[in-house]
Amino acid sequence: MTKAVFSIIGTFFAAACLFFIYYTVRLIYVNLAMSPDEAAAHRTGGMLIGAIAFPVAAIIFGLISWFCFRRGLKRSIEE
């Protein structure tokens, strides 16, 4: 039972991690692929906050997912 719960929770956090990794890469691509004039028009406070928040969220969700998967495997070995 515990293994299944930790695996499900780990899967949800892994999906969130992948989502934020995707948006981090997308944000970098959008900044690099635009011409300087277009990039300057789209660089707002939200884009700058996203440049900090998305990688941090990806790392946090990835660590939580890793912890849950590791904990689920440890429980299955002990049982």
User: Sorting pLDDT into bands at 50, 70 and 90, what band is 10?
Assistant: very high
For 14, 26, 39, 71, the CA distances from 32, given in Å and listed in that order, are: 27, 10, 8, 39
Q: Is residue 39 assigned to a domain?
A: yes
For 27-55, the pLDDT digits (tens) are: 888 878 877 777 777 666 777 888 899 99
- Residues with Cβ < 8 Å from 51, sequence gap 6 or more? 27
Q: Is residue 2 assigned to a domain?
A: no
What residue numbers bound the domain in which 21 lies? 11-78
Please count the structural domains in the chain.
1
Q: Is residue 41 assigned to a domain?
A: yes
Q: Is residue 1 assigned to a domain?
A: no
Q: For the chain, what percent of residues have pLDDT higher than 70? A: 86
Q: Is residue 6 assigned to a domain?
A: no
Q: Give the pair of three-digit tokens for residue 8.
A: 């499900």
